[in-house]
Chain A
Amino acid sequence: MTTETVFDQKIYFNDKDLSYLKKNRDPVVKWILFAFASIATVFVFLIIIFLFINGAPFFIVVPLNDFFFGTNWLPGAGDYGALPIIVDTLLVTLGAIIIALPLGILTAIFIAELAPPLLRKVLKFVIEILAGIPSIVYGFFGVIILNTWLKDIFGMHDGKSWLSGSLILAIMALPTIVSVCEDAIRAVPDYYRQASYAIGATKWQTIRKVVIPAGMSGITAAMILGIGRAMGETMAMTLVLGNKFRLPDPLANMLSQVAVITSTIASTWGPTVEGSLEQRSLLALAIVLFLMTLIVNTLSNIILTRVQRKFTGQKPKEKYSKLKNIKMSQFFIKYKQWILTAIISIIILLILPDYISKLIGAIFCIGLSIVYYIYKIVPKQRKILVIYSVLLSFLGWVLSTWIGIFLAVSISCLIFVSLIFLKRISTVIQQRIWFIIIYGSSAFAVFAVGILIYYIVVTGLPVFLEPGFLTGVPSNSGREGGIFPAIIGTLQLTGGSILFALPLGMFAGIYLSEYAKDNKITRFIRAGIDNLNGTPSIVFGLFGVVFFLLFLGLPRSLLVGIFTLGLMILPTIIRTTEESVKAIPKSFREGSLALGSSKWQGIGKIVVPAAIPGIVTGAVLGMGRSAGETAPIMFTAVRSHSTYITLSVLNPVMALTYHLFRLSNEVTGGLERAAGTALTLLLLVLILYSFAFIIRIRYEKRKKW
């Protein structure tokens, strides 16, 4: 280093011409971003508004009572009793969760705590990709493999049943549950574990007494998310349940054919007449479904926020702080649970029609309250046990036979007794037993998912490799020929939806993360977006029909499909953009500001480019999702048969998912081609998902801040 260069004073900056500083684009940019965010938000609320406007008139004609407590669903005959459908939905979901939850949690423990690093990475990668398998593919697996197995084992007519639905849903919910649980467990800081080892605890003791209690809220959230996903599942359920609108007979009979809300809509919407009571009744069902998932999503969001608070040490806001001093309110706060229970019971007593249902309703309400009380007072590590035994005994109640109740009670007893037994033996053997259970269930979970992929590949490969399958056009209702128009149609729909959703979602996400202040309106918008994120795809499908086809009068076409799918993936894109922009350290923004840049210069030149990999990942995931969805497009955009490629956006197109649905449901003798289509769809989606995760992994390696 030489002195003369250091002290060479040459002025590069012309401080007299400062007009560029006056040209501040910040407000303009802010308004543009705000406009995008508003458009996105408007769409979010349009969906809710249109669903309610079109569905609500139904309740003017049919009293709430008849809808919620009637047991006959025969729209043709004017009977609109949705009780069987709603109860079936709960039953199928419940069955799935009882199977998937223990498996999922144990597998998550295995992946997070016990698996060697390499296996862990591989499993995590595989599971995140599996979460993207289109539901129609699961349904197809149910039709060709699972149902035939059930038919042979139980001697049923065709294997379509509640049991089949619950099993399929369980396999489907597994990846979601495992992946969220695993995240929750990994999020427990390492020094917790080290502290536990340091006082001589075994690995299992550490996992059970430190790691799981610390990750408990996350695990609960995973469970609720799993329930949400299972509840909103459409296509697979349409294929495997049998679609009989009745309660299982007897209630315990898992082999009876049932129908859930989503499958009812998907299988009966088609022929309904615009504006007819029948159509409105399906919209009313959609509203019920929407409200159910709304509750589930809100719950899981509340829990996840609590998790974040726990690890960041943020204190929750004190509720009722103003009321604390008044005696009455103290009384209320202390006994609020019981007061609420009493109020709700009274309401139930007033609303319900006859004495028996009044009694059952009130007992149910009080029972729920007691269970919640128990849940609150038991120590944290026992909570999961309470949940599980409640589910079991609820199942027992549903089974409603003495044998069912006996079974449920004895299983609960068995779990308790074995836990007590486990406590008495040496910690090393305890650990060994538990590890065997964990290894066993992980192996089983991997096996279950592995079998699905194995059969899809084995049955699909011969057709897939047939010359002309990928490049030919279908003939004889799809029983012969290829699927070229369907591939192109899916690509058109996917590409179009991302072109629509990406700019909108990206700018809205940037606005929310960088410009929106943390006030009530923003929180409201965020909550809306979050809820839409978990809204069942069939609800989007109905919105597409009601808004684009009926209200705007557009024809059933590619364009409408693009909009509907785009709206469905919009919340995902907004959220991933927001998260990845937020993850860019504050110091970059400060560094830029300190050099005299405007806010937007810093964001546009530094923050957003650094967040691009995250945004791209979100976009690709969104593409994977829109390529795999059937429900949103089946009434808005697809045609069943086509020998040419649609070039106009106002014509309907073929799509892989819908083609697969038809072949496995409506076209007899179409299963062979369906297998090939399923494999093609699976490959397409898996490629998109792997692509997204490879981007993410590379990016995580590279980043050093």
Chain B
Amino acid sequence: MVNLMILKSKNKYKQEIENNQNLKDDPNEYVIECRKLNLWYDDVQALKDINMKYRKNKVTAIIGPSGCGKSTLIRCFNRMNDVIESCKIEGEVLFNGKNLYDSNADIRLNRKKIGMIFQKPNPFPMSVFDNITYGPKIHKIEEDEVLEEIAEKSLKKAVLWDEVKDRLHDSAMGLSGGQQQRLCIARALAVEPEVLLMDEPTASLDPIATQKIEDLILQLKEEWTVIIVTHNMQQAARISDYTAFMYLGEMIEYGETTQIFENPQEKLMENYITGRFG
């Protein structure tokens, strides 16, 4: 434990320098940036001074053991933590240069632009079609032809169209777990987001469904920025361009995936990816 503390205090310095050096280039490259982000649930600090930048059209994976704050972190990016009463946030999250937590920032507009996929597939208890068009309707698209067009396009983007095109008006609850999760992705895509946040999207799926979602993520990054939280290190290694490692609410290491997995700078990170803890 003592070692760990020393390690951590060292990290802080190193990390800030590293973050700024490793990722130092054109500011337009970044979509989301968080600065000195601190978060408390009641008295428990769940995030400690997080500074991170996320690149456009790349997949960034956040890994770390359970309870390290990775889900909490990405929930900050579309302000889903607002729902939790005991939650208190300090610091800034910049989306295209504007602070999400500004008093005049429009939460709903930002949520539309920053889509989110949850750990457990959560299709609404209505038809596949109604699920997809729920978002567009919320955002005032009312013409049937346009809705149909959006539905088809989003389902195709989520590689679900061929499987559900004949049962668009059946209940979404009848789909398999993997299909449900792709439906949720299609639902998020239907409101034309710029960023997709994914909170362990494959945690409750079997390997084949997981494979499909991973393939899909690799396709999605052509058009969207993806930030994915995952428990599964192999998954992070397979699909992400950048990887961040979190531990006990702190960002321990962040860099290009290949570099981080092959040559981790931090002892803690090395232990984690070699399976010595976590």
Interface residues of A (CB under 8 A from B): 1, 5-8, 11-13, 15, 18, 20-21, 517, 585, 587-598, 601, 605-606, 609-610, 702-705
B125 touches A592 (CB 8 A): no
27 residue pairs of the A-B complex, CB under 8 angstroms, read A1-B156, A1-B161, A1-B162, A5-B156, A6-B156, A6-B157, A7-B223, A8-B153, A12-B141, A12-B150, A13-B192, A15-B109, A20-B140, A21-B109, A591-B118, A591-B187, A596-B110, A596-B112, A596-B135, A597-B108, A598-B108, A605-B134, A606-B125, A609-B126, A610-B125, A702-B173, A705-B173
In the bound complex, residues from chain A placing their C-beta under 8 Å from that of B110 are: 596
A395 CB, nearest partner CB in chain B, Å: 51
Bound together, the chains give a CA A39 to CA B150 distance in angstroms of: 44
- B262 at the A interface (CB under 8 A): no
Known A-B contacts: A1-B161, A1-B162, A590-B118. Give 6 more (CB < 8 A): A6-B157, A590-B122, A592-B134, A595-B188, A596-B108, A606-B134
Contact assessment for B161 and A12 in the assembled complex, using a CB-CB cutoff below 8 Å: no
Residues of B within 8 Å of A596, CB to CB, are 108-112, 135, 138-139, 191
* B162 adjacent to A703 (CB under 8 Å): no
Which A residues are in CB contact (< 8 Å) with B191?
13, 595-596
Give the shortest distance, in Å, between A343 (CB) and chain B (any CB).
Answer: 38
Residues of B within 8 A of A7 (CB): 222-223
A12 to B193, CA, bound (A): 12
Bound Cα distance A94, B113 (Å):
65
Most buried by B among A594, A598, A702: A594
List of B residues within 8 angstroms of A15 by Cβ: 109
Q: How many residues of B contact A (CB 8 A)?
A: 45
B139 touching A13, Cβ below 8 Å: yes
Residues of A within 8 A of B108 (CB): 21, 596-598
Which 6 pairs between the two chains have the least Cβ-Cβ distance? A596-B112, A587-B122, A595-B135, A594-B116, A596-B111, A596-B108
Q: Please indicate the chain A residues that have their CB under 8 angstroms from the CB of B223 in the complex.
A: 7
Q: Report the minimal beta-carbon distance from A451 to chain B, rounded to whole angstroms.
A: 44
Q: A657 → chain B, closest Cβ, in Å?
A: 39
Cα(A7)–Cα(B219), bound, Å = 10
* B125 to A, closest residue via Cβ: A610
Give CA–CA (A587, B125) in the complex, Å.
12
Instruction: Determine if A595 and B138 form an interchain contact, defined as CB atoms under 8 angstroms apart.
Output: yes
Verify B115–A6 contact, CB threshold 8 A. Answer: no
Which single member of A13, A590, A605, A703 contacts B83 (CB below 8 Å)? A590
Q: Separation in Å of the B195 CB from the closest CB of chain A? A: 12
Q: Decide: A592 and B157 in contact? CB cutoff 8 A.
A: no
Please tell me which one of the listed residues A11, A592, A609, A702 contacts residue B192 in the complex, with CB atoms under 8 A apart: A11
Say whether, besides A6-B156, A517-B85, A592-B134, A20 and B139 are in contact (CB < 8 Å): yes
Of the candidates B115, B159, B188, B192, the one whose C-beta lies within 8 Å of that of A1 is B159
The residues of A that contact B219 with a CB separation of less than 8 Å are 6
- Chain B residues with a Cβ under 8 A of chain A: 78, 80, 83, 85, 106, 108-112, 115-116, 118, 120, 122-126, 134-136, 138-141, 146, 149-150, 153, 156-157, 159, 161-162, 173-174, 184, 187-188, 191-192, 219, 222-223
**Residues in B neighbouring A18, C-beta threshold 8 A:** 106, 109
Among A7, A8, A597, A610, chain B packs the most CB atoms within 10 A around the CB of A597
CA–CA, A33 and B136, complex, Å: 27
What is the chain A residue whose CB lies nearest that of B149?
A12
Say whether A704 contacts B111, CB under 8 Å: no
Complexed CA–CA distance, A432 and B146 (Å): 70
A589 to B125, CA, bound (A): 12
Please judge, given known A-B contacts A12-B136, A20-B140, whether A588 and B122 are in contact too, CB under 8 Å.
yes
Complex interface: chain B residues within 8 A of A606 (CB): 124-126, 134
Of listed A7, A13, A585, A609, residue having the most chain B CB within 10 A:
A13
Residues of A within 8 A of B124 (CB): 588, 591-592, 606, 610
With A12-B146, A595-B112 as contacts: A587 and B141 at CB distance below 8 Å: no
CB distance from A484 to the nearest CB of B (A): 43
Known: A12-B141, A18-B109. Contact between A593 and B83, CB under 8 A?
yes
The answer to whether A595 and B111 touch (CB under 8 A), given A1-B162, A12-B146, A18-B106, is yes
Q: Please report the C-alpha to C-alpha distance between residue A18 and residue B138 in the assembled complex, in whole angstroms.
A: 12
CA distance A521 to B134 in the complex (A): 36
Contacts of A591 in B (CB 8 A): 118, 122-124, 184, 187
Least distance between B139 CB and chain A CB atoms (Å): 6
- A705 and B180 alpha carbons, distance in the complex (Å): 12
B222 and A593 contact, CB distance less than 8 A: no
Q: Which residues of A contact B116 (CB under 8 A)?
A: 590, 594
Within the assembled complex, what's the spacing in Å between the Cα atoms of A508 and B115? 33
Q: How far is the CA of A593 from the CA of B78 in the complex (A)?
A: 9
Most chain B C-beta atoms within 10 Å of own C-beta, residue among A5, A587, A591, A597: A591
Looking at B85, B124, B187, B188, the one whose CB has the most chain A CB atoms below 10 A away is B124
Nearest-neighbour CB distance to chain A for B105, whole angstroms, equals 11
| A595 and B115 within 8 A (CB) | yes
Chain B residues near A8 (CB-CB < 8 A):
153
Measured between beta carbons, the chain A residues less than 8 angstroms from B118 are 587, 590-591, 594
Q: Which of A589, A595, A704 contacts B187 (CB 8 A)?
A: A595
Contact status B125-A705, CB under 8 Å: yes
CA distance A705 to B116 in the complex (A): 19
Whole-angstrom CA separation of A20 from B109 in the bound complex: 10
A residues near B139, Cβ cutoff 8 Å? 13, 20, 596
Least Cβ distance of B73 to chain A in Å? 16
Give A610 to B171 CA distance when docked, in angstroms. Answer: 13
Complex Cα distance, B62 from A558, in Å, reads 66
In the bound assembly, the distance between CA atoms of A597 and B135 in angstroms comes to 8
Bound form: Cα–Cα A313–B91 in Å: 34
Chain A residues with CB below 8 A from B138, complex form: 595-597, 601
Q: With both chains docked as a complex, state the minimum distance between the C-beta of A658 and any C-beta of chain B, in angstroms.
A: 43
Q: How far is the CB of A300 from chain B (nearest CB, A)?
A: 29
A621 to B78, CA, bound (A): 42
Query: Whole-angstrom distance between the alpha carbons of A703 and B174 in the complex?
Result: 10
Contact (A704, B134) CB under 8 Å given A13-B139, A590-B122, A596-B111: no
**Which of these, B83, B161, B222, contacts A589 with CB under 8 Å?**
B83
**Nearest CB in chain B to that of A597: its residue:** B138
Q: Which residues of chain A are within 8 angstroms of B125 by Cβ–Cβ distance?
A: 588, 606, 609-610, 703, 705
Q: How far is the CB of A583 from chain B (nearest CB, A)?
A: 12
Cα–Cα, bound, A7→B108 (Å): 26
* CB atoms of B120 and A587 under 8 A apart: yes
Q: Are B111 and A593 in contact (CB under 8 A)?
A: yes
How far is B212's CA from A1's CA once the two chains are assembled, in angstroms? 14
Chain B residue numbers with a CB within 8 Å of A11 are 192
Distance between Cα atoms of A517 and B174 in the complex (Å) = 35
A585 B134 Cβ-Cβ under 8 A: no
Rounded to whole Å, the gap between the CB of B115 and the closest CB of chain A is 7
CB neighbours of A6 from chain B (8 A): 156-157, 219
| A11 to B, closest residue via Cβ | B192
A705 CA / B78 CA spacing, docked (Å): 24
Q: Which residue from chain A places its CB closest to the CB of B85 in the assembled complex?
A: A517
Cβ contact within 8 Å between A12 and B192: yes
Bound state CA distance, A170 and B125, in angstroms?
43
Residue of A nearest to B122 (CB): A587
**Chain B residues whose C-beta falls within 8 Å of the C-beta of A610 in the assembled complex:** 124-125
B128 → chain A closest CB, angstroms: 14
